[in-house]
Structure 1
Amino acid sequence: MCAAERDEVAGLTASRLTALLGAFRPGDDVLGVSELARRTGMPKSSAHRLVGHLVQEGLLERESGAVRLGIRLFEIGQLAAARRGLVDAARPYLADLREATRNTVHLAVLEGTEVVYFDIVRGRDAPALPSRIGGRFPAHATAVGKAILAYSPGQLLETVISAGLPRIGPRTLTAPGLLRRQLTKVREEGIAYEREESAAGVICVASPVLDGSGRARAAVSISGWSNRVRAERVAPAVRTTALTLSRTLP
C-alpha cells in the first residue's frame, strides 16, 4: 500500500470513529452496537471493531452489552472548556484593540508546529486574511507563532525547524538561523513582527500572553495592510493588551 492509500485509509477510519462518537445524542445513556451501526450507516462488523478500539482507548465504556461515552472524553472536554475560558476572558480586550487600531485582531495558541486561531475580531478596513477560527497556520510564518515560540522551551523551536520552514508568503523566513535571531529579538522586546510572511501585502504585530512562569500560553496580534499599518506605532497597544491578559487570566 502506497503512502497516499495509507493516508486515505487513516482518514476514513478517523471519520468513522468520529461518526460513532457523534452518534450519541442528548439523553442517550448507553447505545448498542446495532444502534450505532444504524445511526452511522456503517456495517455492524465495522462498528463492532471500531467500538472495541474506542473502548480500549477509554473513549467509550462497556455496560451490559452496550456502550456509554467514556471518562476520557470528559477529561478532554475539560481541557476544551479551559480554552473556551481563555477566549471569553480575552474577547473584551480583543474588541478594544480592534477599535483602537481598526485592524483585525487574532488570539492564537501553538499546537505542534502550527498556530490555531481561537478567536478573530475582524477590522472593517482590514485585508481578507486566510486565517479562520479553528484554522491552523505554520507557526514560523506568523507573528503570533513567533511570539509564542520566543517564550517557549527551546525544544519547541527545534521541532518547528526540523519539520521544515516552507515558504508561505513572499517574505517567509525559511532560514533557521534567521528565524532564531528574530526570536531572540522578540524575547528582548516582547513584540513579534511579520511582514508579508503569511500573505502578500499583509503585516502583523503580535505579543505573547504569558503564564506565571513566563512561558507563552497564547499570543495576541493585529493584522492589516502593509502600506497602511505602521507596525511600531501599533506595537505598544498590542503589547499592552497581551500584558493585561497575562495578568487577568488565572
Structure 2
Amino acid sequence: MAAESSSGTTPILVLHKVAEILNCFSVEEPDPTLQQIVRLTGLPPSTCQRLVQNLVREGFLDRDGDRYRIGIGLVRWATPGTLGLDVVRLVRPVLQDLRDETGETACFYVRDGAFRTVVAVAETRHVVMRPFMVGQVMPIHAGAPGKIFLAFDPEARDALVGSSLDRFTQFTPQSLELLDAQSQQAQEMGYFAAFGERHEDVGSISAPVFNHTGQLAGVIGLGFPTQRVGPDDVERLGPIVARSGRAASNALGYATTP
C-alpha cells in the first residue's frame, strides 16, 4: 500500500511513474531514447519499457525508431488550456493600456452559459472603486458586457431562454425583448454602456474581442462607480473601449473589425 503524502491523500504510484517519464521530454531534449528515459527516471528497465509502450499505445507518446516524442493525443488535451493562457497573456497589455488611458478598472470576460466570468483585470488606481476580481461570476443579462455577448455570440441568447432574469435593481432588464433591442444597439455602436443594472452605484462600458477565426473570444470593458463616470462620459469613453477591443482582437490574430 502506498504511504500517505503530506497533503493527506494517497498518491497513485503509476501516475507518479508516468509523470516521471513525461518529465524526460523538454524543448532541449524532445526525443529521448528508452535508455535515456530509464536513466533519467531511475525506474526498473522492465517497468519503464512497459509504461512507455502503454503511453505509445494511448497516443501520449510517438515512437520514431529508437526515440520517443510527445504524442498528438497529449498535445490535443493540452491545447484548450494553452489557448486560454495565451488569450489572457495577449489581452492583458491592452487591459493595462485601457486602464491607464481612462483611469478606470479594465476587465476581460468570457461567457459560460448565462453567466460571464472575469478572467483578467487591470485595477484602477483611484481610492474610490468597485472591486472586480479574477474568477468573479455575473449574469449576462445585467451590465454592459452581457449585451456584447448577446450581440456577437449567437449562443448567448439561447442560454437565456428559459432562465430567470433575476432583478438586482430597478434598471435590470426584465425581458428578452429589451435585451434584444440593447444587443442590436451594441452591434450598431460597436460598444455598449450600462448604468445601475446590477448595482445601482456601478456602471460599465464594454466592447467585443474577436479571435483569429472571427468568433467572439470575450468582452473587454470598464467598470466604475457612477459617482465618477456617468452617461455624459459615454461619448468620450465608448470609442476608447471599442478601440481597445480592436487592439485586443488584433493581438489574437483578427485583422479587421466587423
Is the shorter-chain TM-score for this pair beyond 0.5, marking a shared fold?
Answer: yes
Partner of 2:252: 249
Report the Cα offset of residue 172 of structure 1: 1.2
Provide the secondary structure at the position in 2 that maps to 1:208. Answer: strand
Equivalences, count: 196
Query: Which runs of 5 or more structure 2 residues have no equivalent in the other structure?
Result: 1-7, 20-50, 52-58, 61-72, 254-258
Report the Cα offset of residue 164 of structure 1: 1.9
Matched, 1:29 2:30: no
Deviation string 1:151-189 (CA, Å, 9 cap, x unpaired) is 111x43032132121113442112111111110110111
Asked if the contact 1:151/1:214 (under 8 Å) is kept, the reply is no
CA 98–23 in structure 1, closer or farther in 2 if over 3 Å, else same: farther
Report the Cα offset of residue 75 of structure 1: 4.5
Spell out the pairing of 1:205-220 with structure 2 (5 A cutoff). 205-212=205-212, 214-220=214-220
Residue type of the alignment partner of 1:171: F
Asked if the contact 2:210/2:252 (under 8 Å) is kept, the reply is no
Residue type of the alignment partner of 1:246: S
Asked if the contact 2:107/2:221 (under 8 Å) is kept, the reply is yes
Provide the secondary structure at the position in 2 that maps to 1:167. Answer: coil
Report the Cα offset of residue 214 of structure 1: 4.1
Partner of 2:23: none
Structure 1: how far apart are the matches of 2:89 and 2:212? 20
Structure 1: how far apart are the matches of 2:166 and 2:193? 18
Provide the secondary structure at the position in 2 that maps to 1:141. Answer: coil
Deviation string 1:14-35 (CA, Å, 9 cap, x unpaired) is xxxxx98x9679x92359xxxx
CA 173–76 in structure 1, closer or farther in 2 if over 3 Å, else same: farther
Asked if the contact 1:116/1:135 (under 8 Å) is kept, the reply is yes
Residue type of the alignment partner of 1:29: K
Of structures 1 and 2, the larger Rg is shown by: 2
Partner of 2:106: 105
Report the Cα offset of residue 213 of structure 1: 5.3
Partner of 2:228: 228
Report the Cα offset of residue 76 of structure 1: 4.9
Spell out the pairing of 1:9-24 with structure 2 (5 A cutoff). none
Partner of 1:39: none
Spell out the pairing of 1:143-222 with structure 2 (5 A cutoff). 143-153=144-154, 155-212=155-212, 214-222=214-222
Report the Cα offset of residue 103 of structure 1: 0.5
Asked if the contact 1:170/1:199 (under 8 Å) is kept, the reply is no
Residue type of the alignment partner of 1:165: L
Report the Cα offset of residue 124 of structure 1: 1.8
More helix by share: 1
Asked if the contact 1:209/1:243 (under 8 Å) is kept, the reply is yes
Partner of 2:70: none
CA 24–243 in structure 1, closer or farther in 2 if over 3 Å, else same: farther
Residue type of the alignment partner of 2:148: A
